[in-house]
Structure 1
Amino acid sequence: MKTEHVMIGVSIAAALATLPSIALASASNAALAGIDITEAPRVTQTVDTRVVSTLGNTHLSLLDNVTSIGAVADSAPMNHMQLVLQRSAKRTAALNQLIAAQHDSSSSKFHQWLTPAEFGQAFGLADADISAVTSWLTSQGFKVNGVLPNKMQIDFSGTAGQVRQAFHTQENHYTVNHESHIANAGDISMPTALRDVVVGVAGLNDFRPKPLHQQPQTAQFDGSSQRFKIQQSPKANASIAGGPKPLVNFQGGVRGFVPYDMQTIYNTSPLYNSGLTGKGITIALVEDQDMDVSDWPNFVSQFGLGGYGGTFNQSQPLLSPDTGNCTDPGGNNPGGESIEAVLDAEYSTAIAPGANIWVATCNDAGSTNFFGGVFTAASNLINGTSRPNIISASYGYGEGFTDAASKTAIDLMWAQADAEGISVFVSSGDSGSNPSFNGSIINGVPAIDANSFGSSANNTAVGGSDTADVLDGTSSKYFNTALNPVYGSAKSYVPEITWNQSCGNTRAAKDLVNVSALQFCKNALIYDPNGDYVTSESGSGGASSVVAKPSWQRIVHGAAKDQSRDLPDVSLFAGSYGGYSWVILCTGNYPCTANFTSPVVLEGGTSLSSPMFAGIQALIDQGLSSAGGSVDQGNAAPTLYELARNEYGGPTGSVPSTLAACNADNGAKGTGKCVFHNITDGGNSTQCIELLSQNEVTPDCYFYGTINNFEGFFGPTKVGLTSSNATKYNSTTAAYAAQAGWSAANGLGSVNATNLLSAWKSFNGL
């Protein structure tokens, strides 16, 4: 990645002088033709620090019921906070209108993308308003590190004492879910003269999202069974601690999927045969820790991907000019690498073996922004001079754990990416109807929430599916007994259900003991009185409590009749009930060897699903470009929903025959002509608890019993299933059941990549 290093001073003149050095918006850009971007400054009063107003929802409301364990010292550094700015209603409407036109094939603005500078000039704040805000920050003793090219964020640093004085809020220490955090105790206040142009400050708390992968396992291959025997959970920076015990003891070992299997199941191989491998397309994977750079060539070599010409680069994306907000987090070694980064890099390559893979990492420790290094890496890429075609982000936290300023900054970031033509994919989460509990159990907060990193209207959220063959007893129909030369065994597409590892898995309850999920869970109490097998692990989905439903999400059969942005949009394989099926990683501690003579790491989670869909998008991008279209598509979701409407029908009226024909249960022959595999069986309603000894309350949880001495908490603990009705549990209230068309369990379902390209080309008139 090419970056330009220019130091920014603290003065207003210096901060604003950097902007003209990045070519400002040109009237020649067809995207901006006819859009009135003129705007008078909105800061019209003298900035008086004695006249202040409170900015609502600028602290985490969940802390209102948590007792502080002490104030943060005034001298404590608060680095690289971001003042998130508020554009005018006029410019907000103009941006929304433009993005809609950029996705409308009948518009003259179709696929006319912006640069960061053009975006800032047209849809950011006026220079005079930025000057007024930056002057005030400087007057309060803060160091202004820079104004982002989008003119919507000001990067600044200071101390907790300066935050207290300038924003009239105290930074405190808290303990939440056994973790130590800092956060502002109340909403911030600032001069009334600036109120209309400021949303708030991102970086006043350090509640960071978790990587959305399962607890990794190490396993040794058994040539006689062609299966892997799990040995232990890797200790080296797995990122996910704890987790439930294995639910099922598979006598013959477990299954390890490889690139060939994913390529076969989602039908990408025919595209390779036609020369479409992702060549020339760049996929950026945003991370907060490095991976061992020897892993990727090992993976490519082991699984026969070396002939496609893909490239790999790991570096820190810096802004031009550089604010100094991204430093190397380290981890480029076997003992310190991020399993998340390994998973993302290897399985985006598995699907798009010819693509350019960028692992973009920034250090959490260098920033107090809510999303830390992940947010910084993504924001810097989108505002930089060298931008990717696609971004995949496999991290998340619920909206309930995200303050308003941080959520606004996330949504602003993905909207900018969309306007620039960057396709963004975000994992929906790994803990059912609340994505904040990966590796633990939903408790103490509403059991229904949405991933704040993925609930923007300008990204595509990717959920998790499971292959149905194990529960159905049909593995021999879909998989060969012996592995092929690249260690694959899949024969074709395999029917899919929702990935759900809890007793809330309706398909498991039916296939294993022929009872309802609720009865299945009640039966489990007999054999599991201490809750050793209680888990919330499942693909996440549900309704945003912040973002309104985009128009394109209303157009398909099954669309939720609400006013909310709903997740996920699509799904791909993430894991299996009982932990039988995983994907194989090549890591620094456990490199892959020929015939798997040494142990390997097995992984899963929606952290797998998102980079795989990013790989599919790379194939789509190259295919559309080869046919004379744009190489960039912006947010994929609007087009995916349009294509799904053709197969599933609209939200009202009769449904086409293809709704039934494209049901994932039909397998390869039944869905061979379909773009989507409609996953209609299963659901992501998972287990949730209330720790009675802690006087917890967990809304949206239907309690069916109690467990004893749960994880060291003595006394009874209530256990239930996530439900929209705490007094009733059935297929209507379960959060959430799969269904025909779109569902909160799996979105539109998974895809046949070859058919998707054909349909997308037709949609784009190619």
Structure 2
Amino acid sequence: MLAKLHRKSLPLSLGLLLAGITTGAVAANATPAVDAGVAPASQNVQVTLVLKLRNQAALEDYIKQTVTPGSAHYQQFLTTSQFAEQYGASSADISRVQAYLQKQGLSSQVLPSHLAIRTSGTTAQLDALFSTSIHNYVSRETGRQFHKPAGTAQIPSAIADVVDVASGLSNERAYRSHHVSASAFTALNSQSPKLSASSSSSTGSNGNPTASGVPGEYTVGDVANFYNINPLYKRGVVGKGSTVAIVTLSNFYPSDATTYWSDIGLTTKPNRITQVHVDGGGAIDGGSGETSIDVEQSGGVAPFANIIVYDAPNAGNGYVDAFAQAVSDNIADSISTSWGLPEIFNFAALNVTGASNTDTSDAGDLRAFHSIFLEAAVQGQSLFAAAGDSGAYDTVRDLGVGTAPGDYSAPLTVDSPASDPFITAAGGTTTPYSYAFGTGPTEQITQESVWGWDYIQNYFNTYIGPNVVNLFSTGGGGGVSVYWHTPFYQAFTNGVRSSQPNQSLVFYDPSAGPTTQLILPSRFQGRNVPDISLNADPETGYIFVSTYDGGLNSGEGGTSFVAPQLNGITALLRQSSGHRIGLWNPQVYAIQNIFGYGRFSAFNSIRAGDNWFYYGEPRYNQGAGIGSLNVANLDLFLRSGF
């Protein structure tokens, strides 16, 4: 089935792990940067002005009605022009902002949604516009250069009643793709690891001809087997008439996707991939494999859906612009992204010079994304975001963890944009399999479980030796937002929690000692993530094709596989129902809360495993959310109007 593909060797070896190397990488902004001084006056900066919504309360109420059976506006989704007319900035307000920008010598481009205006200018122009001073900085960790305001940027008073957020004044944060490679445990003492698929009915190649049945080499056919998608395929539901979109921050080779589909034996619609390069597009770089994954998975689950790939630079306003474009175009019925950063990286305490370490106001793009997601929801576009791959401690993959000079603490945190209430957060599980390493005994994951690599950590601590490897905190992202309040659809969900007390981000400064950079809110009644989870553990992971990464890659996982799989599933549901599905969250929580788990449930309860803090439970939990899917049953609920 895969004979034509070149198999790339796995990226890590046990030898590296035995040397004590952790799986958590350190981001470019892990340590405070060096201020390189005022940016040259002629340096160009792109900025997107996200405009304030009109009648936001009415908009949110209308969104609820579109996904609530029996409501006056059930499934009555709006067009982009209708959104602009009812909830976007008025034409008069937009003209006023454009005139103000023109006086500053700045051009403007208005999105059809009336939600954003793109502009660009020199640092001198933008310094004057936002009453700030943009400086260049150099990361002490990597030498990467970036710019950001040295002080708080102020929206000009003349347009402050219209403009909500100025995105792009800083390009400090580079988003991370939520993709993880297998730990690649080569056997100790030259013995091969014993690895076999469980005989559980949730694994193997039960029925789908494109499935491999081999953990670490799973395909979209295995996803269909795990989550009862095959009954839809047998009815001819393959995504016809549906369009999925991928929002990503790297360009890719479209031939990767067609090679993957062809070589697993999957028949797909030809010539179905369209690329939209936003702000000049993303680069072919280390994130290109992520884009390949997203297209292969979404388009593999829904083999006859059209695919639009919106790629943008991984800096400044690129991510906001890519999402805004995908939503304003309003061609895609569903959209997924597999990129994110810790929610707390948006807070003023970490971005504004002189801000209090308790300041959790948004100095990033949280509000910008939120407005865009509200537009998507009222247009009936289903959104999905990977919840992260650092378990309950979302900063660890970006900052590392420790108490030595140069290290950071590890507070309980969640990922953005997955934490937004109007996007579906895609979490991760481990499906049943057997494993053994070296001379250790064979052990089993006997039921689908919350994904967290502490089960491997514990195995090594017991049978190989303590502190030989450090896998903390690799696993499915989940926890409680400390910015977004508990949304209405989680208000009556058993298992929803508030934030934990005594959580702080501390930097162990080599020169000044421990510095508390942020004290997180305690007992905050916040949005809980994830919402839905599917298999994401690289040990029970997948193959994908990426030219940039050497061809065929196996033993791959992360919640970046789950978000596009849910995207593809939505394309199937859209064809089956004959209409857009809209925002998943109110619908799936209602189905779970009313009907619970059982033989005819749309969800599989995830009762085992953990993500290093939150444990599987026979109810909603912050490791796996509602649980994993029974897609055929979910389809029946949605078509019946439950």
Report if TM-score (shorter chain) is over 0.5.
Answer: yes
**Letter of the aligned partner of 1:551 in structure 2?**
F
Residues 1:203 and 2:168 are matched in the alignment: yes
Assess if the C-alpha contact under 8 Å between 2:336 and 2:385 holds in 1: yes
1:471-490 equivalent positions in 2, closer than 5 A: none
Shift of 1:350: 2.8
| Residue 117 of structure 2, aligned match among 140, 149, 154 | 154
- Give the Cα–Cα distance (whole angstroms) in 1 for the partners of residues 186 and 328 of structure 2: 43
Residues 1:394 and 2:360 are matched in the alignment: no
1:131-146 equivalent positions in 2, closer than 5 A: 131-144=95-108, 146=109
- Give the Cα–Cα distance (whole angstroms) in 1 for the partners of residues 365 and 470 of structure 2: 35
1:492-503 equivalent positions in 2, closer than 5 A: 495-501=447-453, 503=454
Shift of 1:584: 0.8
- Which residue in 2 is equivalent to 1:544? 481
**Letter of the aligned partner of 2:536 in structure 1?**
A
Q: Residues 159 and 589 (structure 1 numbering): CA distance in 2 closer, same or farther, change over 3 Å?
A: closer
Give the TM-score normalised by structure 2.
0.77
**Letter of the aligned partner of 1:157 in structure 2?**
S
- Which residue in 2 is equivalent to 1:349? 299
- Which residue in 2 is equivalent to 1:739? 617
**Letter of the aligned partner of 1:421 in structure 2?**
G
1:332-731 equivalent positions in 2, closer than 5 A: 338-364=288-314, 368-369=316-317, 372=318, 374-384=319-329, 387-402=331-346, 403-438=362-397, 441-442=400-401, 444=408, 447-470=411-434, 495-501=447-453, 503=454, 505=455, 509=458, 512=459, 527-528=466-467, 532-560=469-497, 563-576=525-538, 580-588=539-547, 600-625=553-578, 631-648=579-596, 658=597, 662=598, 672-685=599-612
Structure 1, 280-289 or 560-569: larger mean CA deviation:
560-569
- Give the Cα–Cα distance (whole angstroms) in 2 for the partners of residues 382 and 96 of structure 1: 17
Q: Residues 430 and 524 (structure 1 numbering): CA distance in 2 closer, same or farther, change over 3 Å?
A: farther
Q: Residues 78 and 755 (structure 1 numbering): CA distance in 2 closer, same or farther, change over 3 Å?
A: same
Assess if the C-alpha contact under 8 Å between 1:464 and 1:609 holds in 2: yes
User: Higher Cα Rg: structure 1 or 2?
Assistant: 1
Residues 1:82 and 2:44 are matched in the alignment: no
- Which residue in 2 is equivalent to 1:278? 239
Assess if the C-alpha contact under 8 Å between 1:74 and 1:162 holds in 2: no
**Letter of the aligned partner of 2:36 in structure 1?**
G
- Give the Cα–Cα distance (whole angstroms) in 2 for the partners of residues 407 and 100 of structure 1: 21
Q: Secondary structure at the match of 2:489?
A: helix
**Letter of the aligned partner of 2:495 in structure 1?**
G
Assess if the C-alpha contact under 8 Å between 1:259 and 1:303 holds in 2: no
Q: Secondary structure at the match of 2:247?
A: strand
- Give the Cα–Cα distance (whole angstroms) in 1 for the partners of residues 527 and 379 of structure 2: 22
- Give the Cα–Cα distance (whole angstroms) in 2 for the partners of residues 477 and 683 of structure 1: 17
| Residue 299 of structure 1, aligned match among 236, 260, 266 | 260
Assess if the C-alpha contact under 8 Å between 1:586 and 1:600 holds in 2: yes
Shift of 1:528: 2.5
Q: Residues 337 and 404 (structure 1 numbering): CA distance in 2 closer, same or farther, change over 3 Å?
A: closer
**Letter of the aligned partner of 1:346 in structure 2?**
E
Shift of 1:133: 2.4
Assess if the C-alpha contact under 8 Å between 2:175 and 2:340 holds in 1: yes
Assess if the C-alpha contact under 8 Å between 1:278 and 1:353 holds in 2: yes
Assess if the C-alpha contact under 8 Å between 2:607 and 2:616 holds in 1: yes
- Give the Cα–Cα distance (whole angstroms) in 2 for the partners of residues 348 and 572 of structure 1: 14
Shift of 1:645: 0.9
Q: Aligned residues, how many?
A: 543
Assess if the C-alpha contact under 8 Å between 2:176 and 2:340 holds in 1: yes
- Which residue in 2 is equivalent to 1:313? 273
Shift of 1:107: 1.7
Shift of 1:524: 9.7
Shift of 1:66: 4.2
- Which residue in 1 is equivalent to 2:501? none
Assess if the C-alpha contact under 8 Å between 1:309 and 1:355 holds in 2: yes
- Give the Cα–Cα distance (whole angstroms) in 2 for the partners of residues 440 and 64 of structure 1: 5
Shift of 1:138: 2.3
Q: Deviations over 1:605-643 (max 9, x none)?
A: 100011111111111111111xxxxx2121111111011
- Give the Cα–Cα distance (whole angstroms) in 2 for the partners of residues 329 and 67 of structure 1: 25
Assess if the C-alpha contact under 8 Å between 1:292 and 1:337 holds in 2: no
Shift of 1:285: 1.0
Larger relative contact order (CA 8 Å, sep ≥ 6): 2
CA RMSD of aligned residues (A): 3.4
Q: Residues 303 and 477 (structure 1 numbering): CA distance in 2 closer, same or farther, change over 3 Å?
A: farther
Q: Deviations over 1:215-243 (max 9, x none)?
A: 479x9xxxxxxxxx989xxxxxxxxxxxx
- Give the Cα–Cα distance (whole angstroms) in 2 for the partners of residues 642 and 213 of structure 1: 30
Shift of 1:431: 0.8
Percent identity (aligned): 27
Shift of 1:556: 2.3
- Give the Cα–Cα distance (whole angstroms) in 1 for the partners of residues 409 and 140 of structure 2: 11
Q: Deviations over 1:366-424 (max 9, x none)?
A: x631xx2x43222112112x510110111011122125351111111111111111001
- Give the Cα–Cα distance (whole angstroms) in 2 for the partners of residues 309 and 748 of structure 1: 33
Shift of 1:439: 7.0
Assess if the C-alpha contact under 8 Å between 2:386 and 2:559 holds in 1: yes
Q: Secondary structure at the match of 1:255?
A: coil
Shift of 1:564: 1.3
Q: Deviations over 1:78-105 (max 9, x none)?
A: 43311222235xx111111111111122
**Letter of the aligned partner of 1:390 in structure 2?**
S
Q: Deviations over 1:225-269 (max 9, x none)?
A: xxxx989xxxxxxxxxxxxx9xx9735697311222211111111
Assess if the C-alpha contact under 8 Å between 2:247 and 2:326 holds in 1: no
Shift of 1:336: 7.6
- Give the Cα–Cα distance (whole angstroms) in 1 for the partners of residues 586 and 192 of structure 2: 43
Shift of 1:340: 0.3
Residues 1:748 and 2:626 are matched in the alignment: yes
| Residue 223 of structure 2, aligned match among 237, 240, 262 | 262
Residues 1:109 and 2:62 are matched in the alignment: no
- Give the Cα–Cα distance (whole angstroms) in 1 for the partners of residues 545 and 148 of structure 2: 38
**Letter of the aligned partner of 2:420 in structure 1?**
S
**Letter of the aligned partner of 2:593 in structure 1?**
R
- Give the Cα–Cα distance (whole angstroms) in 1 for the partners of residues 140 and 408 of structure 2: 10
Shift of 1:67: 6.0
**Letter of the aligned partner of 1:202 in structure 2?**
S
Residues 1:169 and 2:132 are matched in the alignment: yes
Assess if the C-alpha contact under 8 Å between 1:458 and 1:635 holds in 2: yes
**Letter of the aligned partner of 2:40 in structure 1?**
D
- Which residue in 2 is equivalent to 1:185? 150
Assess if the C-alpha contact under 8 Å between 1:284 and 1:391 holds in 2: yes
Q: Residues 555 and 471 (structure 1 numbering): CA distance in 2 closer, same or farther, change over 3 Å?
A: farther
Q: Deviations over 1:113-149 (max 9, x none)?
A: 11222111111222232222222222223232x1222
- Give the Cα–Cα distance (whole angstroms) in 2 for the partners of residues 109 and 176 of structure 1: 54
Q: Secondary structure at the match of 1:192?
A: coil
**Letter of the aligned partner of 2:366 in structure 1?**
K
Assess if the C-alpha contact under 8 Å between 1:585 and 1:602 holds in 2: no
- Give the Cα–Cα distance (whole angstroms) in 1 for the partners of residues 634 and 494 of structure 2: 19
Q: Secondary structure at the match of 1:326?
A: helix
Shift of 1:157: 0.4
Q: Secondary structure at the match of 1:429?
A: coil
- Give the Cα–Cα distance (whole angstroms) in 2 for the partners of residues 495 and 390 of structure 1: 30
- Give the Cα–Cα distance (whole angstroms) in 2 for the partners of residues 252 and 455 of structure 1: 35
- Which residue in 1 is equivalent to 2:179? 213
**Letter of the aligned partner of 2:603 in structure 1?**
F
